[in-house]
Amino acid sequence: MIFNFDTLQARLTDYVYIPDSKFKLTNTGFSSVEAGLAQKSRQYWADKTVTNEVRLEGLDFDLSAFDGENSTTREMMALSVALSELGVIDEGVCSIIGTMNCEFNSSGNQINFGKKIDAFAYLRFVLEDTKKYIEEGHGFAKQVLVSMNTALVVMLAIKERAEASRANALIDTKA
């Protein structure tokens, strides 16, 4: 079950689209309704007619200090959870953003919460690696590619919002 199903569904209620099979999720364990909602979410993020401003509507926390090229895994986890709770992303994309470059010890505990990461470089690396799997004929990689592309588009939208926040912070409102 998608843990933010109701929030995500409410956010995407007005989004009208023609389902594209390349966004369809298979073998996820989701019900057909949940898989359809995840597909709709990923297609929404790929839809060039929807602006990042609209996609991030309701995101009212300050991103001026956010730097996706120099963030910790803990910051990425917090960001992904916040986006998911607002229904901006589905849980699959939340997992990708929130677990980028995570390392675990032999007990299964994450050991690199404070490690810096360049989220964009990481996502581009995984995208290139995924393309190799597709070329080798691994069918699962096509779904991974869509998910990774969605995560990259989300991160680019967040970067755009963060840069706009920093620019707005530089405006002298007392003049």
One DSSP character per residue, 52-95 reads HHHHTTT--S--TT--TTSEEHHHHHHHHHHHHHTTSS-HHHHH
Q: What pLDDT band is residue 174 in, cutting at 50, 70 and 90?
A: low
Cα of 93 vs its chain's centroid, Å: 4
Q: What pLDDT band is residue 172 in, cutting at 50, 70 and 90?
A: low
d(CA 65, CA 157): 15
Task: Say which residue, 18 or 173, is predicted with more confidence.
Answer: 18
Total-model pTM:
0.88
Per-chain mean pLDDT for the chain? 89
| pLDDT score at 32 | 86
- Domain limits of the chain? 5-103+111-168
| CB of 75 closer than 8 Å to CB of 83 | no
Q: Give the dihedral sign, CA 155/156/157/163.
A: positive
| For residue 7, pLDDT beyond 60 | yes
| pLDDT score at 111 | 87
Token pair recorded at residue 136: 């080798």
Cα of 19 vs its chain's centroid, Å: 20
Q: What pLDDT band is residue 65 in, cutting at 50, 70 and 90?
A: confident
| pLDDT score at 170 | 59
| For residue 167, pLDDT beyond 80 | no
| For residue 97, pLDDT beyond 90 | yes
